[in-house]
Amino acid sequence: MFRLPWRIVIKVKVFVPAFINHDKVDDDGFVTVIDGASMTDLYRQLKLPLPLRLSILFWVNYEQAKWNTRLKDGDTITFLFPVTGG
């Protein structure tokens, strides 16, 4: 965790599928967010389209999480997109 003059930011490890825009993910797989950010904030930062947001399952530190789950420095976030076929 490091401080900027006007806010505290944290880094969270993010595992996102290859088809998601990785512009906000650094070379080590981390995303920088404001301290106290929620999963909703992370979704917005990653610019996930709304239809995908409604179908994605996600885990924080390997436990299923909710939209309002607050992120902490060093958390690991994993996304799962349900796949259907036939």
pTM of the model: 0.76
- Distance CA(39)–CA(69), nearest Å, equals 6
| Fold category of 2-80 in CATH | Ubiquitin-like (UB roll) (3.10.20)
User: Does the structure show a pLDDT above 60 at 86?
Assistant: no
Query: What proportions of the chain, in percent to the nearest 5, are helix, strand and coil?
Result: 15, 35, 50
Could you read off the pLDDT of 19-61 as tens digits, one per residue? Answer: 777 888 888 889 999 888 999 898 888 887 777 667 778 899 9
